[in-house]
Amino acid sequence: MLFNSLDFALFLPIVFFLYWFVFKHSLKAQNALIVVASYVFYGWWDWRFLSLIAFSTFVDFWVGNQLGKTDNQKRRKVLLWTSILVNLGFLGFFKYFNFFQESFVDAFSLLGYHFKGYSMNIILPVGISFYTFQTLSYAIDVYKKRLEPTKDIISFAAFVSFFPQLVAGPIERATNLLPQFYKKRQFDYAKAVDGMRQILWGLFKKVVIADNCAETANLIFNNYQDYNGSTLLIGAIFFAFQIYGDFSGYSDIAIGTAKLFGFRLMQNFATPYFSRDIAEFWRRWHISLSTWFRDYVYIPLGGSRGGKWMKVRNTFIIFIVSGFWHGANWTFIVWGVLNAIYFLPLLLANKNRTHLGVIAENRMLPSLKELGGMGLTFFLTVIAWVFFRAESVEFSLYILSSIFNLNASYFPIMKVFIDGKYVFALLSFFFIVEWFGRGHQYSFVIIKGIKSRAVRFVWYFLIFQSILWYVSKQQDFIYFDF
């Protein structure tokens, strides 16, 4: 069920009504409703995959309870590895089986051995990369004794399958989200209004910004041989805004929807394109995944505590694993390596935590130095996005060679500007709102600062109308493929 669909527009108010008006007196009934609603939401794509999420839920619930019953370190490790192997086993089979066998065949072909591999027609379950990491966080935190194991299967099932963030995050920690299912929720009108505002802005990001940028980006990438380097660069820039609007839009809708039911989810994006270096970018982009890898992979590997070699090794491991998490294609691995290369000079110079605050804090405009850093970081990110968007490494290298080929015919094809004039106008408005809202949990919250209720209503109406105007261009969320 897509957030930007009529199905969800009918589904959400029904669940909201049942939650607050029918089951409001029983916490267990509310949690059970969330489980049922979440399974309906997820099964809307393909009901067969409900068995996977149910099995993963029961395995980790059992593992957590067994961990709570023993202090035997050997048995605890066996239980932890049971959770890891089950969750990553499902993820590996459905997402990476064909990739590994095809890479295996190609590797032996280079050595002169030719044999036919077996490719299976495997359907990737929507959101499997997200909920497997969420359940793993529970098993790891219980193992590390950061969290007491739950004995409430309904609350745990609701935590695993919570429909607002089930399919594309944020990837919640058990230490943050699970305890919220134990506490009685009271309807908070102000929080609900804020949630609706964030949902509206998330839909605007997805429907108006991302889906419009997608038209131009897809046209250029799908016909890349017909365009010169500067036009291909414009296509990459449009894709950069497409993926940001698409993914951060989903996160805003998820976080806003959770607020309607009395839950608090973590912030997943913090205006990353205003970052002054690549380290700041990764503190602001897909925060739930970046911090997950930091806490459960990078720090256990030694983090930055060792010498330079350990820092370099751990940095490359994190970025390569992050790239591979995104998809079973060498393009994602190259994307991860490239970001590691970007990050490395900052790490080795101990400048990776230079920019911890918001850009141009307490100022209207950035300094020239900040503007230069922001421009360079955005350009490097756009170049990396080429590998993320392209279908193969060869495809990516062709586009990049064209972009950096500064010849006489480098000026962009004017038709791109003419056809995309409305998109440029929308992006300008989007940029302004994001800039003025850069220090907030989500940008559109700045509308609360407008004192006139009539003016606020006009803005809400215009945003809503723009969503209705462009919703016919409905496209799936990009991260559903991951």
Residues 366-405: tens digit of each pLDDT: 999 999 999 999 999 999 999 999 888 999 999 999 888 8
Banded pLDDT at 57 (limits 50, 70, 90): very high
Q: Taking all residues of the chain, what is their mean pLDDT, rounded to a whole number?
A: 89
Query: Is residue 166 domain-shared with residue 61, that is, in the same domain?
Result: yes
| Contact predicate 35/154, CB 8 Å | yes
Measured between alpha carbons, how far is 32 from 19 in angstroms, rounded to an integer? 10
Using a 10 angstrom Cβ sphere, with 0-12 exposed, 13-18 middle and 19 or more buried, the burial of residue 359 is buried
Residue 446, SS3 per DSSP: helix
Evaluate whether residue 244 is within a structural domain: yes
- What does each C-alpha distance from 194 to 25, 57, 245, 317, 429 come to in angstroms? 24, 31, 19, 39, 21
Residues 98, 199 within the same domain: no
Cα–Cα distances (Å) from 196 to 1, 202, 332, 433, 441, in that order, read 19, 10, 34, 17, 14
Q: Are residues 368 and 442 in the same domain?
A: yes
Contact predicate 221/390, CB 8 Å: yes
Q: Tokens standing for 366?
A: 């950035």
Average pLDDT over residues 222-243: 90
- State whether 45 and 156 are in the same domain: yes
Sorted by sequence, the CB contacts under 8 Å of residue 436 that are 6+ apart come out as: 443, 446
SS3 154: helix
Residues 6 or more apart whose Cβ sits within 8 Å of residue 356: 280, 283
Query: Does residue 198 surpass a pLDDT of 60?
Result: yes
SS3 state of residue 41: helix
Looking at the structure, tell me whether residues 52 and 128 fall in a common domain: yes
Does residue 86 share a domain with residue 27? Answer: yes
Q: State yes or no: pLDDT of 99 exceeds 80.
A: no
Residues 171 and 260 in one domain: no
Residue with tokens 């409900």: 50
Which residue is it, tokens 């069920």?
A: 1
Highest mean pLDDT among 2-6, 324-328, 358-362: 358-362
Least confident of 196-205, 388-397, 466-475: 466-475
Query: What was the pLDDT predicted at 167?
Result: 87
Nearest to 214 by CA among 446, 478, 447: 478
Same-domain pairing of 107 and 231: no
Q: Has residue 463 been placed in a domain?
A: yes
> What DSSP state is assigned to residue 349?
T
Domain end residue (candidates: 151, 186, 221):
186
Count up the domains in the chain and report the number. 2
Q: Of 343, 387, 442, 372, which Cα lies nearest the Cα of 239? A: 387
Residue at which a domain ends, from 138, 157, 186: 186
Interior/surface letters 46-55, b for 16+ CB within 10 angstroms, e for the rest: eeebbebbee
Kindly report which listed range (31-40, 121-130, 293-302, 435-444) carries the lowest average pLDDT score: 121-130
Asked whether the beta carbons of 31 and 154 are under 8 A apart, the reply is yes
Name the domain boundary from 152, 169, 186: 186
Whole-prediction pTM:
0.92
**Which residues are the active-site residues?**
326
Please answer whether residues 75 and 99 qualify as being in contact, where contact means their C-beta atoms are separated by less than 8 angstroms.
no
Confidence band, pLDDT 50/70/90 cuts, at residue 290:
very high
16 plus 143 within the same structural domain? yes
DSSP-assigned states of every residue in 70-95: ---HHHHHHHHHHHHHHHHHHHHHHH
On whether residue 308 sits in a domain, the answer given is no
Same domain flag for 178 and 199: no
Say if residue 170 is in the same domain as residue 25: yes
Residue 332 lies in a domain: no
DSSP code at position 97 = H
Provide the domain limits for residue 224.
191-276+355-481
